[in-house]
Chains A and B, each alone.
Chain A
C-alpha cells in the first residue's frame, strides 16, 4: 500500500529559484525521510525529521512536518542544475505490535532545474 503521495509529480524551474515539494501520508509515523534519486540510480538519503519535530534544515534543504495534517514539505533553496533528480518522501512506521518498522515511499516528484 502506498503511504505517501507527492505533489507535484513534476516540477521545472530555473537555476537560482527555490523548489518546493509536498508529501502527504496516511497513518501515524515514527519519522519521515526524504530521498533523492538520479535517473535510474540508487536512492540517497537527504534528511530525516522525527514525528516530534516540526522543521529541520540541512544545507540548502528545509523540511517541515505537520503531523496533524499528515503532510511534509521539502524546500530546496537556490537550486542548481545538479539538483535535477527525483525526490521521494518515505514514512517509517511501526508494523502493528511486532516491533518491526517499515519504510513506505511516495510516488516521487521529478525536478528539472534548467541552467
Chain B
C-alpha cells in the first residue's frame, strides 16, 4: 500500500531533550515536506525537500532541522525542544513537480502529536 509512515504517533518529552520524528514513504516521491498544525493557525510548513540532499526552509523553520540522505526518508529533528513546539506534526510527499498530467495530490502521514513539558 502506498503510504507515508510517521513515527512515533504520540510523544511526550521534556524541554531540551533532543528528539527525532521519522518519516518514510514508499512511493519513490521526490518531494517531501513537514507541517505543524496548531488550533486557529491551520497547517504551516516547517521544511521541505525537493530531492536527496536538497532541503529548504518553509514558513516556520526555527527550532527544527531536517535531513534527506535517502529518497524515502525525511526525519524531523528537534535539537532542543521547547513547549511552543507542542503541536501536531505531519509529513507529506508527492511526485516531482512537472508531471501535472498524473498528479493526484500530496500523500500525508497520520501525524505525530508532540507534547513538550
Contact = CB atoms under 8 A, between A and B. Distances in A.
Contacts of A43: 43, 90, 92, 106, 108
Contacts of A48: 103-105
Nearest to B49: A100
- The 9 A-B pairs of least Cβ separation, nearest first, read A45-B105, A107-B42, A105-B43, A101-B97, A42-B110, A43-B108, A42-B108, A105-B42, A33-B105
Most chain A Cβ neighbours within 10 Å, of B45, B104, B105: B105
B40 A40 contact: no
22 contacts: A2-B41, A31-B103, A33-B106, A40-B88, A41-B110, A41-B111, A42-B111, A45-B105, A45-B106, A45-B107, A48-B103, A88-B42, A88-B43, A99-B98, A101-B31, A101-B97, A102-B48, A102-B58, A103-B33, A104-B45, A107-B41, A107-B42
A78 interface: no
Interface residues on B, range: 20 to 34
A102 to B, nearest CB: 7
Contacts of B59: 1
B80 to A, nearest CB: 26
Interface of B: 31, 33, 35, 40-45, 48, 50, 56, 58-59, 88, 90, 92, 97-98, 100, 103-111, 113
